[in-house]
A and B are shown apart, each in its own frame.
Chain A
Amino acid sequence: MDQIMGNIDLLIQFPIVNLKIILDGVMIGALFALAAYGLALVWGVMNVKNLAQGDFVIGGGYVSWWSYHNVPYFHPLLGVPVAFIVMWALGWLTYKLVISRVIERDLFTSLLATFGLAIMYAQLMNLMFGSDTQSLVLDVTGLGLENNYYFADGLIDLPAAKVIGVVLAAILATGVILFMKRSRMGQAIRATAQDARAARVLGIDTEKVYAFTFSLNSAICGAAGAIIVMVWVIQPFYGITYSIRAFVIVTAAGLGNLPGVIAAGLGIGAAEQYGSHIFGIGYQQAIAVILLLMVLIYRLVQQRRNRQVMQ
């Protein structure tokens, strides 16, 4: 208790620390928002709640990590497109083998099937890469930048890797949004999300759209993972917390609400950083999950109010 009060005291006495926490949270939250956007896409288009979302993220991280250690002259930044492509293929395979068979079924089926997939992927990664936490060091001194920038007498440190990560995440998100808005396939995806039957009547091959959407989701997650491995650590069993964070964000923001997803992503990143600063780093995973429960309860209360209005 004393420790918690002390930590809160620190925040009040040195307001600059708040800035550091928020900055850290926003940078990490940008990556959460990416995974959440993929989840919202799959959820909205094919009504599948993908609990293996986080394992795609971690999978992308391991693709980048493995390439760095096994391919000569491999730059960590190159991992982002490589992970995008590899995870695209894996997502397509997953869709063809499992997801395509659960789309028409009830929601619990898809939830449980993807939970099984999550366990399988986590264990496969554990067998292939070992259970140690891994990360890559992004050295940008070659590009004429410093690895760390300091502000406010060194109280705030801003690693270049994190800034690059956020920029990459932003580029990726912009690319996906433009694709969804402008391209023919993006239009088809949006049409299928609105009404799959009508889309089919109008000549859209919804099966193809579903496969494409799921692969795209997996690829986005993979790219996010390749960024995460540079700014954070990955471990085969960290996937489930990313899935839960994605669920928190999508549940809080609502489906098809893109600005909401971004805002909720950044918000949960900041909330987690605050929580782990105040309660200690050991609570970071717990905070992500408790936020989920809080969001669910909040939605429940909101719905209850709606129901009373109806009467």
Chain B
Amino acid sequence: MKIQKIAFYGVLLAITVAAPFLFPSFSTQLATLWLFIIVSMTWDMTGGQMGYNSLGNIFFYGTGMYVAAVIAIGLVYDVGEYTGASGGGRYDFTNEQYILGFVLGSLGAGIFCAISAVILGYVLFGLRGPYFAIGTLGTAIAAGELVSNWDWVGGGQGITLPVYSGDFDQTKLFIYFAFAITGVILFIFLKWLYTTRFGAAINAIRDDEEKAEAMGIHTMRYKLVTWAMSAFFIGVVGGISAFQLISFEPLETAYQTINLGIFMVVCVLLGGKGTLWGPIIGAIMFQIFKEVTWNYFLGWQWVALGALIVVTVVYFQDGLMGWLRTQKPEWFGVVVDDKDGEAVR
């Protein structure tokens, strides 16, 4: 690795660590930014790299939230009783129980989501193109509706999780670093994954699935594993989000199909599909746009976001990285031949 690259990543890491200390009043927004970066990167695994545009990845986010909450509560109390009291009863959690619930809950959520991705994938990956998008969207909406009718997990009211009894700012910092560490791990993992044979195989599926299959790639196996990996990370951040939000309900926060579920797609499109940095840049751009509209166009923010989606999709679908790639192909290691067929760097 070249010295500039090491310096570049070092600076980025330093910013990541220092950000919540430099801007303590923005630590919640920064945590949300990490959430967006992570879900965008995971969406890009199937959407950008494998060519399966899912509109229902939010299913794993919501499921992650619920699994994490159920595990954290279930370690100490009876879940049905806890949700039945809907915050009315007195349920105390010691700090050790909270941390244990947090760690086990988030990891358990990830594992549960990975398994459910494999099961769902068996059915849904038979669908191609827009049918896959509609099928996954339907799954997410159906899951939200079913959970909101399931009394054991609190029904339409949702779950109110225990609160960490320590310092409030400390909790925020803790949540921020939980998100940031997951994000950094995911980034390193994807950076490595996209250079392996596995990465090449899922790109082959995107480019031409029939040919990839003819070349001896077990496409179904690759699709399932990719979706399971992306579901694992969404599940983990879903679990962390549950602890961040403390109280959540099924339709608007957990299975928020038309909010986060579509935002992650927009983030990826803004930044550039099928690139490592695209989702990250897109998520940062989107988050800035969102905060600005929230502050200055209050009431109209959703309309502005809908308009952003339409404009991005219709006019700017290649995103920032795609635009850069056409402008400066040499930055991406693309070799451009000149007239005589000689490679020009």
Interface residues in chain A, defined as those with a beta carbon under 8 Å from any beta carbon in chain B: 49, 98, 101-102, 105-109, 111-113, 115-124, 126-127, 240, 244, 247, 251, 280, 282-283, 285-286, 289-290, 292-293, 296-297, 300, 303-304
Complex Cα spacing A106 to B51, Å: 12
How extensive is the interface on chain B, given as a class?
A: 35 or more
In the complex, whether B138 has a CB less than 8 A from a CB of chain A is: yes
- Known contacts A98-B310, A116-B310, A117-B310; A289 and B258 CB within 8 A of each other: no
Within 8 A of A (CB), among B98-142: 123, 126-127, 129-131, 133-135, 138-139, 141-142
Q: Which 6 A-B pairs have the closest CB atoms?
A: A120-B306, A116-B309, A286-B145, A123-B302, A119-B306, A289-B142
Q: Which residues of the other chain, A, contact B138 by a CB distance below 8 angstroms?
A: 244, 289-290, 292-293, 296
Complex Cα spacing A117 to B269, Å: 16
Further contacts, 6 of them, CB under 8 A, given A115-B55, A120-B306: A111-B130, A116-B313, A120-B310, A127-B299, A127-B303, A293-B139
When the two chains form their complex, are residues A300 and B126 in contact, meaning their CB atoms are under 8 A apart?
Answer: yes
Chain B at the A interface: SS class: helix
Jot down 14 A-B pairs with beta carbons below 8 A, ordered by A: A49-B130, A101-B314, A112-B309, A116-B307, A119-B262, A122-B258, A244-B141, A283-B146, A285-B145, A286-B146, A289-B142, A292-B134, A293-B139, A296-B127
Report the minimum CB–CB distance from A110 to chain B (whole Å). 8
Report the minimum CB–CB distance from B19 to chain A (whole Å). 30
Q: Which residues of the other chain, A, contact B269 by a CB distance below 8 angstroms?
A: 112
Report the minimum CB–CB distance from B213 to chain A (whole Å). 12
Within 8 A of A (CB), among B263-314: 265, 269, 299-300, 302-303, 305-310, 313-314
When the two chains form their complex, are residues A297 and B306 in contact, meaning their CB atoms are under 8 A apart?
Answer: no
Residue of A nearest to B314 (CB): A101
When the two chains form their complex, are residues A289 and B145 in contact, meaning their CB atoms are under 8 A apart?
Answer: yes
Report the minimum CB–CB distance from B324 to chain A (whole Å). 21
Q: Which residues of the other chain, A, contact B302 by a CB distance below 8 angstroms?
A: 119-120, 123, 126
Complex Cα spacing A122 to B313, Å: 19
In the complex, whether B149 has a CB less than 8 A from a CB of chain A is: yes
Residue of A nearest to B125 (CB): A300
- Known contacts A119-B258, A282-B148; A113 and B310 CB within 8 A of each other: yes
When the two chains form their complex, are residues A117 and B129 in contact, meaning their CB atoms are under 8 A apart?
Answer: no
Q: Which of A101, A115, A251, A293 has the most CB of B within 10 A?
A: A115
Q: Which of A102, A283, A289, A297 has the most CB of B within 10 A?
A: A289
Complex Cα spacing A112 to B68, Å: 31
Report the minimum CB–CB distance from A264 to chain B (whole Å). 16
Q: Which residues of the other chain, A, contact B303 by a CB distance below 8 angstroms?
A: 120, 123-124, 127
Residue of A nearest to B146 (CB): A286
Report the minimum CB–CB distance from A308 to chain B (whole Å). 13
When the two chains form their complex, are residues B141 and A240 in contact, meaning their CB atoms are under 8 A apart?
Answer: yes
When the two chains form their complex, are residues B134 and A247 in contact, meaning their CB atoms are under 8 A apart?
Answer: yes
Q: Which residues of the other chain, B, contact A127 by a CB distance below 8 angstroms?
A: 299-300, 303
Complex Cα spacing A304 to B126, Å: 9
Q: Which of A101, A286, A297, A303 has the most CB of B within 10 A?
A: A286
Q: Which residues of the other chain, B, contact A106 by a CB distance below 8 angstroms?
A: 129
When the two chains form their complex, are residues B142 and A286 in contact, meaning their CB atoms are under 8 A apart?
Answer: yes
- Known contacts A119-B262, A293-B139; A283 and B310 CB within 8 A of each other: no
Complex Cα spacing A303 to B131, Å: 13
Complex Cα spacing A292 to B133, Å: 12
In the complex, whether B53 has a CB less than 8 A from a CB of chain A is: yes
Q: Which residues of the other chain, B, contact A126 by a CB distance below 8 angstroms?
A: 302
